[in-house]
Structure 1
């Protein structure tokens, strides 16, 4: 199968109106991750706050803090193909950037038959025991719940992947490399299921916790300012790659001034050294936080979702 740039652009533009229509309608339902209160809460005053940061009312750009009720929101495709993706927005582990990196990509996936689940995860610095593993606990639990409800959504439990952006890309890579690490006490029968993603797509990801290339805000919020070498290694996905890490699809841009491109390069090198199938696209321009939309219109980086979709086909995911 030969796909040229013109075909990719046509496909991307053709899908835009449908994706916008789906985004306007929002998710079809919400699934709470935990029965009752999420485990490990120490800040009883914690309350969710939604801040609208957009200056254009037609283009929402909400940021969420105080996630006390972690959950996944479901975007169902009209014609499900059996694949599902857990979508993890970024925000430096200090907030969740809902629209650009969640509600924008989920409809794009649904338009292609992939059931999308947007993750609202707990933020580590907001008052939780074992803060550095709290986001991973939510990601593991979300994967298991998706598999537990696979029949209800017409999903093949062997075709559940994960995609994350920036700090959400770190959580995506953390799940890909530490999916088998026990970071919470089992809550119900769903926790007997695997949390391993079939594929993982970290997009302009935070990866390393080493001070010279780490994103400072994400690092501080996740592991603090005085983390030991052992702690840094534990929470650097490039240091945690094993033969059980799923195939990786990595995207980054050389002109990213927020998260150094060295993060993606390090993860790619670790995957290659560990024998993990991996594809990486490094774009000359794109900056940071572009997800998929007008921010990269006219640039090759705008086409990364189509490249991901083609790559997923080569792994028989879609």
Structure 2
């Protein structure tokens, strides 16, 4: 399915029912959105898949040929912005169930939402496991040039990606190609929702681990791609959410990240729910996870 056709189809579904809080039940997109290509020409390293991007019936994006930002502007901007990265185990990007609903919800609150379409490491890019991080760092630089306040919101593998980006803002994942690449890539705050945080044993069963370091990775490689190892006193304040019955990202992931933040005296707010599984997006009806967006809203407004 063509991505533009999918977006039109979502926009036509604006009458879908919502919960009383307006947080779940509506995956539609705002009417106004635009796109920004991340790179001027070929991305760092070159290579990549051929053909067009692929979008599944449920809104999972893959075959990313042109990494980009989709910008969702609110009718009444509040002067703040959020970079959103959906998950998908670095095999796909779950736009329909995670990124687009979050963008719609945030823009309704007045935040300018930027949805990241990042390169996937198993799609023939020559820079391999660095490509997603390259895109996230470039996206932060682009947004910082446009916005005064920048926070990030990452789901699952997207939480791992943005967690790496905000804790390793001084890491040069690619050679500078223009003046923008000489500017800092950092966020003012970060929200990570059922994130993959650590790739170290015994938490090495995920698709994130398989695609970034491989099934036979050394302990050093696992550590190099584990977010908690890069938390410092300069890490932005954190907001963490996870269900205790998560079968994909072990529930210890948020505990590990919270402990790293406390160790470095980074302000952290964490919500863990008894049920909800994995991939609940803006909340799974019938589970306590439907509450987290209200907590996130209060956190955004308080800091």
1:31 aligned to 36, 46, 52, which one? 36
Equivalent position of 1:168 in the other structure: 158
Equivalent position of 2:277 in the other structure: 287
Residue 224 to residue 66, structure 1, CA distance change in 2 (3 Å): same
Residue 139 to residue 44, structure 1, CA distance change in 2 (3 Å): closer
Within 2, Cα distance between the matches of 1:222 and 1:27? 35
1:135 aligned to 132, 138, 144, which one? 132
Equivalent position of 1:271 in the other structure: 261
State the shift of 1:47 in Å.
4.5
Within 2, Cα distance between the matches of 1:272 and 1:51? 40
1:197-208 to structure 2, matched below 5 A, reads 197-208=187-198
Residue 16 to residue 64, structure 1, CA distance change in 2 (3 Å): same
In the TM superposition, what whole-angstrom CA distance separates every residue of 1:77-115 from its partner, at most 9, and x where no partner exists?
011001100000000001111111111100100111110
Residue 16 to residue 282, structure 1, CA distance change in 2 (3 Å): closer
In the TM superposition, what whole-angstrom CA distance separates every residue of 1:273-310 from its partner, at most 9, and x where no partner exists?
111111110100111101115xx224321111110111
2:296 aligned to 301, 308, 312, which one? 308
Any stretches of 5+ residues in structure 1 without a counterpart? 1-10, 53-60, 151-156
1:140-289 to structure 2, matched below 5 A, reads 140-150=137-147, 157=148, 159-289=149-279
Equivalent position of 2:56 in the other structure: 51
Aligned residue-pair number: 286
Within 1, Cα distance between the matches of 2:301 and 2:168? 25
Q: Say which SS state the counterpart of residue 187 (structure 2) adopts.
A: coil
Kept in 1, the 8 Å contact 2:203–2:250? The answer is: yes
Q: Say which SS state the counterpart of residue 13 (structure 1) adopts.
A: coil
Q: Say which SS state the counterpart of residue 258 (structure 1) adopts.
A: coil
Within 1, Cα distance between the matches of 2:33 and 2:295? 27
Kept in 2, the 8 Å contact 1:243–1:275? The answer is: yes
Calculate the TM-score normalised by the size of structure 2. Answer: 0.89
State the shift of 1:42 in Å.
3.0
Kept in 2, the 8 Å contact 1:207–1:214? The answer is: no
2:112 aligned to 97, 110, 115, which one? 115
1:99 aligned to 78, 96, 99, which one? 96
Residue 50 to residue 314, structure 1, CA distance change in 2 (3 Å): same
- More helix as a share of residues: 1
Kept in 2, the 8 Å contact 1:49–1:65? The answer is: yes
Kept in 2, the 8 Å contact 1:20–1:107? The answer is: no
Kept in 2, the 8 Å contact 1:209–1:219? The answer is: yes
Kept in 2, the 8 Å contact 1:34–1:187? The answer is: no
Residue 285 to residue 29, structure 1, CA distance change in 2 (3 Å): same
In the TM superposition, what whole-angstrom CA distance separates every residue of 1:152-208 from its partner, at most 9, and x where no partner exists?
xxxxx2x10101101001012111211221111222222232211100011000111
Residue 68 to residue 210, structure 1, CA distance change in 2 (3 Å): same
State the shift of 1:15 in Å.
3.1
Any stretches of 5+ residues in structure 2 without a counterpart? 1-17
